[in-house]
Amino acid sequence: MPDIQTQGTEEVHPDVLLVNRAREGDVQAFEKLVKQYDRQVFRIAQHITQNREDAEDVVQDSFLKAYEKLDQFQGNSKFYTWLVRIAVNEALMRLRKRRTGRMVSIDEDVETEEGSMPRDLADWGPDPEQQYSQSELAEILRKTIQGLPPGFRVVFVLRDVEGLSTEETAETLGLSVPAVKSRLLRARLQLRERLSRYFRKDKRNGGAK
Amino acid sequence: MTCTEFIALLDDLMDDRVSAALRAELEEHLRGCEHCVVTLNTTRKTIEIYRSHELYELPNDLRSRLHKAILAKCKKC
Ligand SMILES: [Zn+2]
């Protein structure tokens, strides 16, 4: 059956065409979407759950849920953001299950003043990451971002790592734009502050330029 | 402009969401404040480092296992 939308409407996002085909039962079209976004979903799930098994489950469940709900997908939003929203919810659910008793919420603002004003004002070397091996560096980066409150971490990951816009991040998380902006700023500053321990120039030379 | 005011606008500056007039004010602050220069540069670097390093690689064997599991269930739907 020919797809009506493939003709004449060049602005239609290729994902939307794949979604339309998948809706009609074309599993291969859906497989393409899986291949296109599985890495991102896995990364987001890992960042939120911080657990490998959970992240694997999140990938599987998110795509299955997306497949089941394809009819609800509105062509006016991006498939990717729609999928990310499903994945974030799945990941948060897993995180809550693991941390029973501990509140895990991204809706509440986190009460912390940390990072609102920079304290470590030492400059970094020109290529700070060169001081470490790739595996050491990855470990530092993982450890550092894991220390952020979940509500900050998820905003940073969606906005800065995955490249969603502020508005898309807000929509995905069900937060207001100002809330996203305030968390993003604090997440960025907290990460910067923590990374400074590893990346700052060793000596304080008075004549810093 | 104080450092606190500058920091509050840091994201807008980095994301290029400031008017020309405000940008001029921010740049004026930067000329006189080494601390904020450092904060701006190292914050930019922080984002860049996180963006350019894959922290959670999806291994190929796991990837194909997940694909198979997903598609097997899709076909049953
Ligand atoms: Zn300043």
Spans of all domains in chain A: 5-98, 134-204
The CATH number corresponding to A5-98 among 3.30.1330.60, 1.10.1740.10, 3.40.390.10, 2.102.10.10 equals 1.10.1740.10
The pLDDT-based confidence of B37 (bands split at 50, 70, 90) is very high
Chain A residues inside the 8 Å CB shell of B72: none
> How far does B55 lie from chain A, in Å, by closest CA?
6
- Does the domain at A134-204 match CATH 3.40.50.300? Answer given as no
pLDDT of residue A206: 40
CB contact under 8 A, B67 and A34: yes
Nearest by CB to A34, which of B15, B54, B70? B70
**What is the value of ipTM here, to two decimals?**
0.91
Average pLDDT over residues B14-40: 95
Q: Can you give the pLDDT of all 209 residues of chain A as single tens digits?
A: 444 444 555 578 889 999 999 999 899 999 999 999 999 999 999 999 999 999 999 999 999 999 999 999 987 778 999 999 999 999 999 988 887 655 555 555 555 555 567 777 788 988 888 889 999 999 999 999 999 988 999 999 999 999 999 999 999 999 999 999 999 999 999 999 999 999 988 644 443 33
What backbone phi and psi angles, to 5 degrees, belong to A50? 55, 35
pLDDT of residue A185: 94
pLDDT of residue A182: 92
CB contact under 8 A, B46 and A47: no
| Among candidate residues A14, A16, A66, the one with its CA nearest the CA of residue A38 | A66
Query: Tokens 């330029």 sit at which residue?
Result: A209
Do A141 and B46 form a contact (C-beta atoms < 8 A)?
Answer: no
pLDDT of residue A209: 34
Is some CB atom of chain A closer than 8 A to the CB atom of B30?
A: no
**Full 3-state SS string of chain B:** CCHHHHHHCHHHHHCCCCCHHHHHHHHHHHHHCHHHHHHHHHHHHHHHHHHHCCCCCCCHHHHHHHHHHHHHHHHHC
pTM of the full structure = 0.86
Is some CB atom of chain A closer than 8 A to the CB atom of B76?
A: no
Q: Tell me: pLDDT of B64 over 50.
A: yes
pLDDT of residue A202: 65
| Topology (CATH level 3) of domain B3-76 | Arc Repressor Mutant, subunit A (1.10.10)
CB contact under 8 A, B67 and A145: no
> How far does A8 lie from chain B, in Å, by closest CA?
31
CB contact under 8 A, B4 and A117: yes
> How far does B61 lie from chain A, in Å, by closest CA?
12
Average pLDDT over chain B, rounded to an integer: 93
Rounded CA-CA distance B8/B1 in Å is: 11
pLDDT of residue A114: 54
